[in-house]
A and B are shown apart, each in its own frame.
Chain A
């Protein structure tokens, strides 16, 4: 049966903060190899939804299933091990460490050697080889020896992606990867996103509609914590209600 199950699925997912409902009965499917975008106005609950998927928040009701398997009760670290990785809306990096060290920490955890005490970190050749591959993949080879804090913000976003890929994810959740990047730098990020491995199911939260419509093969619109509409980019673009609540002038022009 698991062959038919979507990569990631939620059923009736709800989250309340007191009387405030930030997720309402969300039924959502992320297919294998998906290129799926989640859009919606600010405060629609998109980041909350990511936090529910990754286990940062526990839902009030409902289920999260990874390949048909219920992971609702699993802690964040366990879900990461099962293949759910994310990037953050605001970069969450090891700022005092180099790009290469940042990626190595993630890869070492994934390979299960993050707690190894007696062997130097630099002696784990598999970790170093994988980190090298990832740093080159996101085109940060030139900056690999620089401290993350010294990098322009756009490149820091690439480090986020390299770290997430270092976890060998089956599901990759990109929370506003282009947020805060000057447009002059955004093409690097677009290239990196476009060249993500095909077998990873990607969910991207993004406000930049150019990016969304270029990247996504499916779009979910969220409003006030609930799924408002879902469909192909053409269907969403043609949906009058969606245009009214969210897209507005972005597509009229």
Chain B
């Protein structure tokens, strides 16, 4: 028998959990106890993590450069908001399921069209998808509340047990954390699967992917649909957590914001979403306190620095250290 290749062993083990993967969850739980006064901020961070994670699947893994991902966040947010306001459907979990389903449907249908294109055309078409939805939300005032949105929403107890209200930050935080955890487990499973591997293949060389007989377009549409569903969940959580929904959930600001979060943290890395969301929102929070009129300048400077010196984001800065550490212990990275 041949001796087994180290690379094959490494490949067979790479999906196994590593110790440091517990850190974000320990930090999230730690924050729950350490900062009881910041839980509503923390909830927003967790929602942003989920949104950025959904973007990472398409942007970081499949290499689909989209600038319209807020379309799906907004679709989820409006689904939950409109169901609660007009249909009296305010049970949180089924509301989330509806949000995911609607966002997935929009992702699937728009994906069938936009994923036929590449590069700038693709970028513009994702923007267009979002702009169409935004205008639809703006004009369908009877349903969406138009420019003002739908304020003052309330939701039933989670599983009939835990009070869900904009004033109950504790249960909200844990609820969002639980949803995020479930979604993360799913995304992690996906990216380490053969499917995830094939998405990486599309990102790295689409020509070669065709030449190995992969159904490239179908894979991309599936990934885009899943990603849209996850973004829709994030949007649904947003509406439930804030008790309102308005046009801001669908705008370019939000789409660009989540992209900045992902680039800042490091895309195609699964944990970049966590690092980026925490870094970006904390920075925004602190800068807005210090310079209420000019805080975006600080964000801009940071982005320039990231673009110049840390192309792979914050996690990209840490990686060489980790690799060196592993090399010193004589293990493959």
A residues whose Cβ falls under 8 Å from a Cβ of B: 54, 56, 76-81, 85-86, 88, 92-101, 104-106, 108-110, 113-125, 127-128, 131-132, 135-136, 141, 144-145, 163, 166-167
Contact = CB atoms under 8 A, between A and B. Distances in A.
B194 A98 contact: no
Contact of B204 (A86, A96, A121, A144): A96
B324 interface: no
B15 to A, nearest CB: 4
B193 A121 contact: yes
B12 A105 contact: no
Nearest to B192: A120
Of the candidates B2, B213, B216, B332, the one having the most CB atoms from chain A within 10 angstroms of its own CB is B213
A211 B104 CA distance: 54
Contact-size category for B: 35 or more
Nearest to B219: A115
Interface in B193-243: 193-198, 200-201, 204-205, 207-216, 218-219, 222
B189 interface: yes
Interface of B: 2, 4-8, 10-15, 189-190, 192-198, 200-201, 204-205, 207-216, 218-219, 222, 332
Q: SS class of chain B's interface: helix, strand, loop or mixed?
A: helix
Given A106-B212, A123-B12, A128-B11, A114 B5 contact: no
8 shortest A-B CB distances, which residue pairs?
A: A80-B213, A144-B7, A145-B7, A94-B204, A120-B15, A100-B7, A122-B12, A92-B208
A132 B197 contact: no
A144 B10 CA distance: 10
12 contacts: A88-B208, A88-B211, A94-B200, A101-B197, A115-B215, A115-B218, A116-B195, A121-B11, A121-B15, A128-B8, A128-B11, A135-B7
B277 to A, nearest CB: 25
Contact of B197 (A85, A95, A108, A125): A108
A116 B194 CA distance: 6
Contact of A92 (B196, B207, B332): B207
